[in-house]
Homo-oligomer: A and B are copies of this chain.
Amino acid sequence: MTDFAATRCLFHLPEGMIYLDGNSLGPLPKSAAERVAAMMRDEWGEMLIGGWNRAGWMAQPMALGDRIGALIGAEPGHVTVGDTLSIKVYQALAAALAMTDRKVILSDNGNFPSDLYIAEGLIGTLGRGHELRVVEPEAVEDTLDESIGVLMLTEVDYRTGRLHDMKGLTEKAHALGIVTVWDLAHSAGALSVDVSGTRADFAVGCTYKYLNGGPGAPAFIYVAPRHAETARPALCGWLGHEAPFAFDPDYRPGAGVERMRVGTPPILQFAALNAALDAWDGVDMADLRAASQRLSERFIAEVEARTDLVLASPRDPARRGSQVSFRHPDGYAVMQALIARGVIGDFRAPDILRFGFTPLYLGEEEVVEAAAILSEILTTGTWDRAEFHQRQAVT
């Protein structure tokens, strides 16, 4: 059994805060600041440019890729880390489109908007009459047909936590000759993902949510081994070249997923991410999933026993990711009032109160207390103060 009491000790959690927003930004691993400081002092400070070889910086995108790959069921050597998730979506989608003559990208309106924007931007850049077809999440399966070239989905809906059937949809897509791009932003570190077993063609994700890599931590991309040597990179950066330091005038793609590297990777962010990934050593993803479901179920039960909030997430825990959402017409103000009481979740337009459950550092007592505070805020009406209605730039 995974020892979650031990993993909890690895994170700094502020006094008096119940943090139910690890699905947006994970907390600080206690070892991260010293890890980054050591990298800066001993590697950047002392080795300077020599750090690329001597400290192994150049190899880190693939080394980190393997650490993340182990958490998402990827074959070793088939994940690389760098850039941001939006960039990785662009890379995956461009490579997927290059594998088909069909013009339609199918997605759903539960996909994170940036993925849809990236698709729009790519379609505009291509200028060849591609179409982004966006349907309701529940309609995806029935919409799949031979007109569709690429199915691009986020496995877990950022609003409701609804979980797509990644294996089933991928199978059906493949039977129809459709290439799949899966965004695992809310899956990696939250679920027992198996990109290899589900036969996903491309998968991407970020590392600042459940993986706790810190603000602006880099993204990752997986290319299935069967495509790795033929996938065509759209963002042909020098570090994706077969021999970056040969300074060839012409681009030749690197081996496998290495071609999805672009520019100089962010070594400070990498140091923090490496520290964060240590917390996963010894974690069994099935244990994690079970613990996440226990916490989520308990939260739903407590909230429903105390309030009349309407559940926005699927009731069946097997159909949810690691978050629970409720609807409230004044969700923004309610969330601000909660935050003022130290319960941190987030609001997603138009009416979603979103709570993430992260067994690595979250226990059942806090979940119960969070529900009690939420109930108190709703019962006493304290959420309906002017101060809680004032919009901030980032919500």
Contacts and interface: CB of A to CB of B under 8 A. Distances in A.
Contacts of A86: 235, 237-238, 262-263
Nearest to A350: B247
A264 B125 contact: no
A374 interface: no
A37 interface: yes
Interface residues on A, range: 35 or more
B21 A49 contact: yes
A394 B245 contact: yes
Nearest to A123: B236
Nearest to A15: B46
A229 interface: no
Contact of A268 (B121, B269, B339, B392): B269
Contacts of A17: 48
Contacts of A116: 249-251
Interface centre among A27, A33, A84 (most CB of B within 10 A): A84
A128 B127 contact: yes
Given A44-B28, A247-B113, A85 B264 contact: yes
A84 B83 contact: yes
A126 B127 contact: yes
A271 B116 CA distance: 30
Interface centre among A43, A46, A251, A270 (most CB of B within 10 A): A251
A99 interface: no
Nearest to A241: B117
Interface in A329-351: 339, 344, 346, 348-349
Contacts of A349: 245-247
A249 B108 CA distance: 10
Nearest to A219: B263
Given A28-B45, A44-B214, A113-B249, 10 more contacts: A14-B48, A48-B344, A84-B264, A87-B235, A87-B262, A121-B235, A122-B234, A216-B268, A247-B348, A266-B266
| Pairs A-B, 3 closest by C-beta atoms | A84-B263, A121-B236, A114-B238
Interface of A: 12, 14, 17, 19, 21, 24-25, 27-28, 32-33, 36-37, 40-41, 43-46, 48-53, 57-59, 82-87, 90, 94, 109, 112-114, 116-118, 120-122, 124-128, 134, 206, 208, 214-219, 232-239, 241, 245-251, 262-270, 272, 339, 344, 346, 348-349, 392-395
19 contacts: A14-B45, A19-B48, A24-B49, A27-B44, A28-B40, A28-B45, A52-B215, A82-B84, A94-B125, A116-B249, A117-B237, A117-B251, A122-B234, A125-B126, A127-B128, A215-B268, A216-B265, A216-B266, A247-B348
